[in-house]
Amino acid sequence: MNTNNTWKRLLNYTRQYRAISIGAVICAILSVAASLIGPLLIGQAIDRMIGPDNVDFPEILRLLLILGAVYVTGSFFGWLLTYYTNKIAYRTVYDLRSDLFDKLDTLPLKFHDNHPQGDSISRFVNDMDAVSDGLLQGFSTLLTGIVTIAGAIGFMLYISPVMTVVVLLSAPVTYYVARFITTRSQKLFREQAKILGGLNGYVEEIVGGQKVVQAYHYEDRSFARFSERNNELYQTGVKSQFYGSLANPTTRLVNNITFSVIAMIGSVLVIGGHLSVGDLSSFLIYSNLFAKPFNEITGVITQLQSATASAQRIFKILDMVPEIPDAPDAHVLGVSKGTIIFDKVSFAYTPERPLIRNFSLEVKPGTRVAIVGQTGAGKTTLVNLLMRFYDVDSGSIRIDGTDINQITRDSLRQNFGMVLQDTWLFGGSIRDNIAYGKPEASDEEVIAAAKAASAHSFIKRLPEGYATKISGSGDNLSQGQKQLLTIARVMLADPPMLILDEATSSIDTLTEIRIQKAFLRMISGRTSFVIAHRLSTIRESDIILYMKDGDIVESGTHEGLLASGGHYAKLYNSQFAAV
């Protein structure tokens, strides 16, 4: 996306604020008109001062009073212009930020798996701020600049067409000098925004894993890597700012040369009696006013280039292909009976590395399915496919006889409750976190779910009980306590099918036993999938699947698999054999 297309898209966001934009244009015209009338009055006042004892003081006083009123009026409309441009800029960024947040919710899980969180956050914060600054500078400079240039040309032509031609000849020189510099500095601003996003991602990563960093004495190495990236940002930032800042002094040099030339020409015209001293003074002021917009644009060129680079990063996300939408004839899945069929399913995260090949499995209603195997065998991938976080490459998955591609994602996912190894909480109260999937739940229901998850006792010990506020990362809770809250969240939602992916990995053995009893009550009569490395949690499963390289190599009950002496038996014995 080039610069012109980027700004066209940004300006499209302002179309819904046409009334404010019209107000801004009117204010710009009136504000600039006042600034253009001023030099004419000043020239007339100068011409009233002919020499010693030959000064028309009454007329000068009258002109000064008019000049004061004009400038006060101009200042008022200048303030209104600033107010309107601020309103347009901030509302535009508000809409842009809303669209970006909405877009992130529509992107497939693959984007979030492969994209650093810190870089996404940088687009919301740093890039949006850069766009806001650029819009503020751009609107104000553009509106006042166009009116100023047009008005100054008109007044200069009225005073002296000859000198006006000289001034106009300098405009193309100023433009091409500025363009030469900006086209070469723009790529540096794009690189700067990219490096800043990467740096934010690294900082977010290190801050989030600070305990591990300190535990492994990684502080010096992490600081070294940070310094390397920070220095890279510094070097690119200095270069981009340096080259960007060349535009303003260069154009000012051209304008100063032009000013000197027209001053000499004007002096000759004054000596020849073709121009008054007042008119020359007015013309010189108008020539400065004519050059002012060019100087202002080049003065804020770094902000505009930074805004352009940041807007391109934002639009890059907005232009990404969203998650494949629900089929037009997709229907809403009611409360599922729990019959699930994997029919010759194949899937790969990357085409060159197939993970699941020709996978078939039939799960009857109420079946408790345990999935075990070595890391990378494809256990969690099955869950991702079942929930349509990813779509299968070939084959099909059917629930109650219907292909999940023909079911709306929302209704499909509402039929599953998930408890993952990685806990996720948000900033708010304990109660709000438990009721995340069922916000209309009563306090009694929330407490009942917490008791079922063995979380009630530790919650009551918190300073404000269920009203206790926690941070998004849950730093004031232990890992086990956070996992108990996520379990309570699923128990409150009470879905017809369950997915437990290492759900008790962060819980002590005694609590795990209580949780297992609660799970047994909850999954009674429901289809459930349990992924676990601790095999003690899956002994009572109706069927245990041992996966290897995306294929089921063994299946059966706990006792049957032990008796067969295969992969499952070896894995089980490795955990429980006497030492």
Q: How many helices (H) and strands (E) does the chain have?
A: 21, 14
CA–CA distance, 29 with 79 (Å, rounded to integer): 13
Amino acid, single-letter form, for residue 148: T
Average pLDDT over residues 417-446: 85
Phi, psi of 463 (to 5 degrees): -50, -45
CA–CA distance, 515 with 524 (Å, rounded to integer): 14
Minimal CA–CA distance to 346: which of 400, 407, 408, 390? 390
Residue 63 pLDDT:
83
pLDDT at 262 over 50: yes
Residue 298 pLDDT:
62
Count of C-beta atoms within a 10 Å radius of residue 498: 23
Residue 51 pLDDT:
61
**Which of 352-356, 393-397, 453-457 is least confident?**
352-356
When pLDDT is cut at 50, 70 and 90, the band that residue 503 belongs to is low
Rounded to 10 degrees, the C-alpha dihedral 119/122/128/134 comes to -90
pLDDT at 558 over 60: yes
pLDDT at 459 over 50: yes
pLDDT for 78-135, tens place per residue? 899 889 988 888 898 899 999 998 888 888 878 877 777 777 888 888 888 888 888 8
pLDDT at 177 over 70: yes
* C-beta separation of 489 from 482 below 8 A: no
Residue reference for tokens 């269920």: 466
pLDDT at 315 over 80: yes
Q: Give the containing element (helix H, strand E) for 544.
A: strand 543-548
Residue 396 pLDDT:
92
Q: Would strands 49-51 and 54-55 be described as parallel, antiparallel, or unpaired?
A: antiparallel
pLDDT at 244 over 80: no
CA–CA distance, 445 with 447 (Å, rounded to integer): 5
Residue reference for tokens 């079911």: 407
pLDDT at 203 over 50: yes
Query: What value does the CA radius of gyration of the chain take, rounded to a whole number of Å?
Result: 35
Minimal CA–CA distance to 449: which of 419, 491, 480, 500? 491
Inter-CA distances, 199 with 234, 237, 295, 303, 567, Å: 11, 13, 33, 20, 44
Average pLDDT over residues 533-547: 77
**Which of 148-157, 162-171, 200-209, 377-386 is least confident?**
200-209
Residue 273 pLDDT:
77
* C-beta separation of 454 from 504 below 8 A: no
pLDDT for 87-99, tens place per residue? 888 898 899 999 9
**Which of 407-421, 445-459, 505-519 is least confident?**
505-519
pLDDT at 495 over 50: yes
* % of the chain at pLDDT higher than 70: 90
CA–CA distance, 365 with 337 (Å, rounded to integer): 6
pLDDT at 579 over 60: no
Phi, psi of 552 (to 5 degrees): -85, 115
Query: Which range, 190-194, 254-258, 565-569, 572-576, has the best average confidence (pLDDT)?
Result: 565-569
pLDDT at 53 over 70: no
Residue 76 pLDDT:
92
Phi, psi of 498 (to 5 degrees): -130, 150
What are the chain's domains?
3-318 (1.20.1560.10), 334-415+496-579 (3.40.50.300), 424-494 (3.40.50.300)
Average pLDDT over residues 17-43: 86
Average pLDDT over residues 301-312: 80
Minimal CA–CA distance to 407: which of 502, 490, 328? 328
Residue 447 pLDDT:
92
Q: Which two tokens stand for residue 207?
A: 């801050």
Helix (H, G, I), strand (E, B) or coil at 469: strand
Helix (H, G, I), strand (E, B) or coil at 160: coil
Average pLDDT over residues 562-578: 78
Q: Give the containing element (helix H, strand E) for 341.
A: strand 340-347
Average pLDDT over residues 155-180: 80
Rounded to whole angstroms, the maximal C-alpha distance in the chain is 124
Inter-CA distances, 217 with 220, 226, 496, Å: 8, 15, 46
